[in-house]
């Protein structure tokens, strides 16, 4: 039996799935990444530090805020700029806004149709009115967080090297806070929906790699941790992870200790379960995801746990900001031009940017490692194990289960193709 | 019968399609007004003739050209969605370097591992384009206005004046007064000078207005101690494709 799904739907970007099997054996299995390369690293070469983040944001529409935030942090470290606590808190809130937005789009628009046997959420507008209502209410609020803090949901305007071009009004923050509380019933209903889904039974042990939260569930940080308990500094990321090429992909794959590994919501949750907010921990229990979860289909509930965490933490962050009072700040100037790396936990996992600046304040070399590139090998390994188990289901169900598995990782192909490595000179 | 509409993408970040999905207040009405036949990012449905195809992204490879032509053949109207499709946008930033050099730099020398890659081009380099929604990303409200025009059978119109005019109407302080180059005087309006309102400058993502008045612009630059190189550098980000053509 040969299965070829070209331009897989309900994922970000273009990938094909190719399976060739005979007599119960998988002869060939490939996730072909067919997105056109966009050469972002060459684009960044020669860029002035004030232009770098706006260009880096364009790598990906769905995680443009994460690219912006990690780009700014890498630049600031390279330029010796220290940002204020207020800036750090606003950036964290912006990061939560994007995690909510990206996760909600994936859960409701990309993943859920598989479990309802429909091609998209659109037919559910009539048959599942309440469900669509919850989806749009939550998504609208996530986007409004991005608007209030970053200026717009896709490709933020206000975050710049050293801080923000404009601060939110206290009244806008208070309104967001009020609505974050008002959506809790929608969130509860969402948890019920995802608690009721029939996730396929499948397990594969894989190492999880994430940031280690510093007292809190991680967004930014300096320390990496594996599910095996091994720690590493973010500065050593390049030594920990090895990128490699395969002929069927315009995106590079990545491995750690010669093996595939997982990043993203489930990896973060496995490594930082005890740092989840109180409400998120309860939801994790209700949805049956925790440090020992080895079923990749259950990345969906892990993603939802992070939504709950994001809502709760956003309320607290806004309280802290309002209590301290927002202060207008001068943007600090660079005091040197060097090289630095930064990592953020983007919606899909570890996102790494490294820059080397020349004395003219322009990029000499840029290097980025994308979450999806790190997950591709794990997705393929899952499929290799899963396909023989479900070969007797027949073509249609087999294909659906494979697609569900790929979608659970929420691969972002635009990202993974658009940033590939340039060697440091 | 409701008009049949499809959304497609090529080399891009898919942020313009996402901006359509971010119209939470209007999404339910849109679903009533049109049949969304294809939208790969959120739907596994495909097929058939279309009244309107919205296409995001630039065209880089022969297989992209083939797929674009196939979409064109089955669509009554084809609309470029966003800067990458309209002008090649930010993708064109690499257009001043040879393709082979870029591939080698990123993917190495092994011919088996080298993907086909070409310089990104706008849709109009290969097919007839019946309308365009400019911007990086598009402005959601402008998309709705253009869609409305298309649905009632009118040719959508884009503003023929510059962002600078919208900026003055909004009574925003001039970016040049901060000693920063702003592309507002030569960039097509329609975004309500969003980036200037947010405290940034205009980076020209919507492309140049028809026949920009360069004389007065150079004078503004001189008055603020800026030169041609400063503006050329600014134009690179979103308008390099136009520069190269000249």
> What is the arithmetic mean of pLDDT over A293-315?
98
Report the pLDDT value the prediction gives residue B110, as an integer from 0 to 100.
65
A375 within some domain: yes
What CA–CA distance (Å, rounded) separates A403 from A397?
Answer: 10
Report the pLDDT value the prediction gives residue A224, as an integer from 0 to 100.
96
Which residue has better confidence, B96 or A293?
A: A293
- Test mutation, B18, B48, B179, chain A, max A CBs within 10 A: B18
| pLDDT band per the 50, 70, 90 thresholds, residue A29 | confident
DSSP per-residue string spanning A82-131: ---HHHHHHHHHHHHHHHHHHHHIIIIIIIHHHHHT-SBSTTHHHH-HHH
Q: What are φ and ψ of residue B85, in 5° steps?
A: -80, -35
Cβ–Cβ contact A106 with B under 8 A: no
Which residue has better confidence, A19 or B141?
A: B141
A271 within some domain: yes
What is the ipTM for the molecules in this complex?
A: 0.93
Instruction: Show me where the domains of chain B are located.
Output: 4-151, 163-239
| Residues A128-180 pLDDT 10s | 999 999 999 999 999 999 999 999 999 999 999 999 999 999 999 999 999 99
Q: What is the mean pLDDT of chain A?
A: 92
What CA–CA distance (Å, rounded) separates A83 from A280?
Answer: 29
A6 within some domain: no
| Residues B16-71 pLDDT 10s | 999 999 999 999 999 999 999 999 989 888 889 999 999 999 998 888 999 999 99
Which residue has better confidence, A425 or A167?
A: A167
- The pLDDT of residue A209 is above 90: yes
For A62, the closest of B14, B102, B198 (CB atoms) is B14
Structural domains counted in chain A: 1
Report the pLDDT value the prediction gives residue A183, as an integer from 0 to 100.
97
> What is the arithmetic mean of pLDDT over B204-233?
82
Residues of B in contact with A145 (CB under 8 A): none
Cβ–Cβ contact B100 with A under 8 A: no
DSSP per-residue string spanning A118-140: -SBSTTHHHH-HHHHHHHHHHHH
Contact call for A157 and B21, based on CB within 8 A: no
A9 within some domain: no
Question: Do A165 and B200 contact (CB within 8 A), yes or no?
Answer: yes
Contact call for A38 and B17, based on CB within 8 A: no
- The pLDDT of residue A336 is above 80: yes
- The pLDDT of residue B112 is above 70: no
Q: Residue B90 burial (CB < 10 Å; 0-12/13-18/19+)?
A: buried
* CATH number of the domain encompassing residue A307: 1.10.645.10
> What is the arithmetic mean of pLDDT over B110-135?
83
β partners of residue A31 = A17
Interface of B with A in 147-166 (CB under 8 A): none
Which residue has better confidence, A5 or A294?
A: A294
Contact call for A35 and B106, based on CB within 8 A: no
> What is the arithmetic mean of pLDDT over A332-343?
96
H-only helix segments in chain B: 15-21, 27-33, 62-73, 83-86, 99-107, 140-151, 163-169, 194-197, 214-223, 228-245
Cβ–Cβ contact B31 with A under 8 A: yes
Contact call for B24 and A51, based on CB within 8 A: no
To the nearest whole Å, the CA of B98 is away from the closest chain A CA by 12
Tell me which residue has tokens 């031009």: A337
Give me the percent of chain B exceeding a pLDDT of 90: 65
Residues of A in contact with B103 (CB under 8 A): 37
Contact call for B136 and A36, based on CB within 8 A: no
A1 within some domain: no
Report the pLDDT value the prediction gives residue B115, as an integer from 0 to 100.
58
Report the pLDDT value the prediction gives residue A238, as an integer from 0 to 100.
86
For B107, the closest of A122, A165, A245 (CB atoms) is A245
Residues of B in contact with A39 (CB under 8 A): 94, 102, 106, 117
For B45, the closest of A120, A160, A418 (CB atoms) is A120
> What is the arithmetic mean of pLDDT over A323-336?
96
Interface of A with B in 129-188 (CB under 8 A): 132, 136, 139-140, 143, 151-155, 157-158, 160, 164-166
Q: What is the mean pLDDT of chain B?
A: 89
A134 within some domain: yes
Cβ–Cβ contact B33 with A under 8 A: no
Contact call for B195 and A132, based on CB within 8 A: no
- The pLDDT of residue A419 is above 70: no
| pLDDT band per the 50, 70, 90 thresholds, residue A41 | confident
- The pLDDT of residue A296 is above 90: yes
CA-CA-CA-CA dihedral for B122, B125, B126, B131, to nearest 10:
60
Question: Do B6 and B71 contact (CB within 8 A), yes or no?
Answer: yes
- The pLDDT of residue A272 is above 90: yes
- The pLDDT of residue A420 is above 50: no
Report the pLDDT value the prediction gives residue B114, as an integer from 0 to 100.
54
Report the pLDDT value the prediction gives residue A284, as an integer from 0 to 100.
98
- The pLDDT of residue A421 is above 70: no
Give me the percent of chain B exceeding a pLDDT of 70: 93
- The pLDDT of residue B111 is above 70: no
Cβ–Cβ contact B18 with A under 8 A: yes
Neighbours of B159 (CB within 10 A): 16
Q: Residue A244: which domain range?
A: 15-424
Half-sphere exposure of A324 (CA within 13 A, CB side): 14
Cβ–Cβ contact A361 with B under 8 A: no
Report the pLDDT value the prediction gives residue A416, as an integer from 0 to 100.
60
Question: pTM value?
Answer: 0.95
Cβ–Cβ contact B30 with A under 8 A: no
Q: What are φ and ψ of residue A39, in 5° steps?
A: 60, 50
- The pLDDT of residue A64 is above 60: yes
Contact call for B93 and A55, based on CB within 8 A: yes
Report the pLDDT value the prediction gives residue B28, as an integer from 0 to 100.
93
Determine which of A25-29, A230-234, A270-274, B124-128 has the lowest per-residue pLDDT on average.
A25-29
Range B134-157 burial, b when 16+ CB lie within 10 A, else e:
bbbbbbbebbeebbeebeeeeebe
Contact call for A10 and B43, based on CB within 8 A: yes
- The pLDDT of residue A13 is above 50: yes
- CATH classification for the domain delimited by B4-151, as one of 3.30.499.10, 3.40.50.700, 1.10.3720.10, 3.40.720.10: 3.40.50.700
| pLDDT band per the 50, 70, 90 thresholds, residue B106 | low
């Amino acid at each position: 039996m040969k299965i070829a799904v070209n331009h897989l739907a309900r994922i970000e970007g273009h990938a094909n799935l190719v399976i060739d099997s005979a007599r119960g054996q998988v002869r060939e299995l490939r996730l072909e990444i067919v997105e056109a390369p966009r050469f972002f690293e060459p684009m960044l070469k020669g860029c002035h530090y004030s232009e770098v983040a706006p260009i880096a944001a364009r790598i990906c529409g769905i995680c443009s805020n994460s690219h912006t935030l990690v780009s700014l942090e890498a630049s600031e470290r390279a330029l010796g700029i220290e940002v204020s606590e207020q800036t750090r808190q606003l950036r964290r809130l912006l990061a939560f806004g994007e995690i909510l937005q990206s996760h909600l789009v994936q859960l409701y628009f990309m993943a859920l149709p598989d479990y309802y046997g429909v091609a998209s959420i659109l037919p559910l507008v009539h048959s599942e009115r309440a469900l669509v209502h919850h989806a749009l209410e939550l998504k609208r609020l996530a986007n409004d967080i991005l608007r209030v803090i970053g200026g717009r949901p896709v490709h933020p305007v206000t975050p710049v090297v050293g801080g923000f071009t404009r601060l939110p009004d206290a009244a806008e923050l208070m309104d967001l806070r009020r609505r974050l509380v008002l959506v809790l019933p929608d969130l509860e209903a969402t948890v019920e929906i995802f608690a009721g889904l029939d996730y396929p039974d499948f397990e594969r042990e894989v190492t999880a790699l994430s940031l280690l939260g510093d007292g809190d569930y991680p967004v930014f940080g300096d320390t990496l941790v594996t599910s095996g308990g091994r720690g590493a500094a973010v500065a050593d990321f390049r030594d920990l992870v090895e990128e490699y090429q395969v002929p069927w992909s315009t995106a590079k794959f990545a491995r750690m200790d010669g093996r595939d590994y997982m990043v993203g919501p489930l990896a973060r949750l496995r490594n930082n379960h005890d740092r989840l907010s109180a409400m998120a921990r309860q939801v994790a229990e209700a949805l049956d995801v925790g440090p020992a979860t080895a079923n990749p289909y259950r990345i969906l509930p892990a993603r939802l746990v992070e939504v709950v965490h994001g809502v709760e933490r956003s309320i607290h962050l806004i309280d802290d900001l309002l209590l301290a009072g927002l202060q207008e700040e001068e943007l600090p100037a660079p005091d040197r031009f060097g090289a630095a790396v930064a990592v953020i936990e983007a919606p899909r996992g570890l996102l790494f940017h490294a820059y080397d600046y020349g004395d003219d304040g322009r990029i000499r070399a840029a290097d980025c490692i994308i979450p999806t590139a790190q997950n591709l090998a794990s997705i393929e390994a899952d499929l290799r194990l899963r396909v023989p188990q479900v070969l007797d289901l027949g073509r249609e169900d087999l294909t659906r289960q494979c697609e569900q598995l790929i979608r659970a990782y929420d691969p972002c192909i635009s990202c993974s193709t658009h940033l590939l490595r340039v060697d440091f000179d | 019968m409701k008009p049949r509409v499809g959304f497609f993408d090529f080399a891009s970040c898919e942020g313009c399609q996402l901006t359509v999905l971010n119209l939470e207040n209007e999404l339910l009405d849109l679903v009533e007004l049109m049949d969304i036949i294809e939208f790969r990012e959120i739907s596994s449905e495909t097929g058939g003739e279309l009244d309107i195809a919205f296409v995001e992204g630039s065209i880089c490879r022969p297989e992209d050209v083939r797929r674009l032509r196939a979409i064109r053949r089955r669509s009554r109207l084809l609309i470029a969605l966003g800067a990458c499709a309209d002008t090649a946008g930010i993708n064109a930033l690499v257009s001043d370097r040879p393709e082979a050099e870029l591939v080698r730099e990123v993917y190495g020398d092994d011919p088996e591992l080298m993907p086909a890659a070409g310089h990104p081009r706008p849709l109009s380099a290969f097919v007839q384009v019946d309308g365009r929604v400019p911007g990086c990303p598009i402005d959601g409200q402008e998309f709705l206005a253009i869609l409305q025009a298309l649905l009632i059978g009118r040719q959508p119109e884009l503003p023929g004046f510059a962002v600078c005019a919208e900026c003055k109407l909004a009574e925003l302080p001039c970016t040049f007064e901060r000693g920063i180059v702003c592309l507002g005087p030569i960039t097509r309006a329609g975004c309500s000078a969003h980036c200037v309102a947010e405290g940034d400058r205009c980076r020209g993502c919507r492309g140049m207005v028809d026949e920009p008045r360069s004389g007065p612009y150079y004078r503004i630059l001189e008055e603020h101690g800026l030169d041609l190189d400063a503006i050329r550098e600014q134009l690179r980000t979103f308008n390099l494709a136009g520069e190269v053509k000249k």
